[in-house]
Amino acid sequence: MQENEIFIIGANGQLARALRQQYPQARFAGHDTLDVSDPAVISSFDWSGIKIIINAAAYTNVDGAEINDGRIAAWRINASAVGQLSSICTKHQITLVHISSDYVFDGEVTPHTENEPLSPLSVYGASKAAGDIAAQTTPQHYIIRTSWVIGQGKNFVNTMRNLAERGVSPMVVADQVGRLTFTDEIVRAIDHLLGQSAPYGIYNVTNSGPLASWADITRQIFKLCDYTDLTVTDTTTADYFAGKDGIAPRPLNSDMDLDKLHNTGFISRDWQDELREYLEKNY
Ligand SMILES: NC(=O)c1ccc[n+]([C@@H]2O[C@H](COP(=O)([O-])OP(=O)(O)OC[C@H]3O[C@@H](n4cnc5c(N)ncnc54)[C@H](OP(=O)(O)O)[C@@H]3O)[C@@H](O)[C@H]2O)c1
């Protein structure tokens, strides 16, 4: 695998920033140079010399996807564009690495395996599920199904830390459980699968460690940052969003089974260790 034959789409997102650290010689395209919502832009792009596409672009505004313009954008970027990229990959014998989400499931089954039937609750989830189907139409594909992504940028950990810095004791949802996934863990898994030439297919990728709710994670953040005078109060998803319009339904269980990834020889890192390191780096 030659690094300069890797092409990363969605260059300025959380995951892409971590990919840039792993693959500094790769080619990158942001929204401004390759707008994947425009089929004409994708079809006129020069794909020569590319052996691996890592698609880190996505419409990730879960609630925004429930309203008209957002719904159209989510389907264009998360589904239609993936279909077009898959056709290009097939035509040019490119390997497609595509990123999927726990939101393709309704959260009723635990843990989620790679074979679980798709059951999205929200428009975002449905668009991501359609993207998974589209990505599987090209033979050389890795679909990385992840959850609760934390990297450089806007994310839950930074939001909670900012609240703490302002002296806020928040009410936080305690009935959604999962594990944080730090972007460097996703990058490590992608590099492992590509490096091992692992069989193509879907792979769950999250950090390991105990299942936790958003409220549990907030308590850990506050403890690690020494905000011992602040409290975190549990609430339910239903109560948290009560009276608010345009809120997407969310799966309550994001427990991803990691056996398939581990059977390739990959050893996952505990999210609690990564959280400690992340807070020390102070992104
Ligand atoms: N965040 C999570 O908790 C989570 C959980 C599970 C799965 N995932 C999946 O993980 C992947 C990476 O997520 P992330 O957190 O890194 O997302 P992110 O930070 O929101 O990054 C997404 C990137 O996609 C770009 N993008 C949006 N529309 C585009 C377009 N039309 N053309 C080209 N680029 C476009 C965005 O650029 P602009 O900002 O310039 O528009 C942004 O840089 C996504 O596939 C997401 O669905 C995320």
The number of helix segments (H) and strand segments (E) in the chain equals 11, 12
**What's the predicted TM-score (pTM) here?**
0.97
Inter-residue contact 52 to 95 (CB < 8 Å):
yes
Calculate how far, in angstroms, residue 49's C-alpha sits from the geometric centre of ligand 1: 25
In Å, what is the CA distance from 245 to each residue of 59, 68, 147? Answer: 20, 14, 24
Chain segment 130-176, per-residue pLDDT in tens: 999 999 999 999 999 999 999 999 999 999 999 999 999 999 999 99
Instruction: Answer yes or no: is pLDDT of 26 > 70.
Output: yes
Percent of the chain with pLDDT over 70: 100
First to last CA, the chain: 30
In this structure, the residue with its CA closest to atom 4 of ligand 1 is 149
Q: To test the ligand 1 pocket, which listed residue (149, 181, 186) has its Cβ within 8 A of the most ligand atoms?
A: 149
Question: From the CB of 56, is ligand 1 less than 6 Å away?
Answer: yes
* Residue in 23, 59, 103, 124 annotated catalytic: 124
Judged against a pLDDT cut of 90, whether residue 36 lies above it is answered with yes
The residue length of the chain stands at: 283
How far apart are the CA of 192 and the centre of ligand 1, in A? 22
> pLDDT at residue 41 above 70?
yes
Q: What is the pLDDT of residues 198-248, one digit of tens each?
A: 999 999 999 999 999 999 999 999 999 999 999 999 999 999 999 998 999
- How far is it, in rounded angstroms, from Cα 152 to Cα 56? 14
Residues 6+ apart with CB under 8 A from 38: none
124 is catalytic: yes
Write out the DSSP string of 63-117: TGGGSHHHHHHHHIIIIIHHHHHHHHHHHHTPEEEEEEEGGGS-S-SSSBPTTSP
Q: Whose CA is nearest to atom 7 of ligand 1?
A: 101
d(CA 55, CA 41): 15
Q: Of ligand 1's atoms, which has the minimum distance to the CA of residue 98?
A: 45
Helix H or strand E segment including 9: strand 6-9
- Using CA atoms, how far apart are residues 236 and 217, in angstroms rounded to an integer? 15
Is the CB–ligand 1 distance for residue 257 below 6 Å? no
CA of 226 relative to ligand 1 center, distance in Å: 31
231 token code pair: 């409290």
Q: For ligand 1, what atom is nearest to the CA of residue 14?
A: 16
In this structure, which residue's CA is closest to atom 24 in ligand 1?
Answer: 57
3-155+179-208+256-269 fold: Rossmann fold (3.40.50)
Domain parsing of the chain, residue ranges? 3-155+179-208+256-269
Residue 283 has pLDDT above 70, yes or no: no
Ligand 1: which residue has its CA nearest to atom 33? 31
Ligand 1 atom with the smallest distance to the CA of 183 is 16
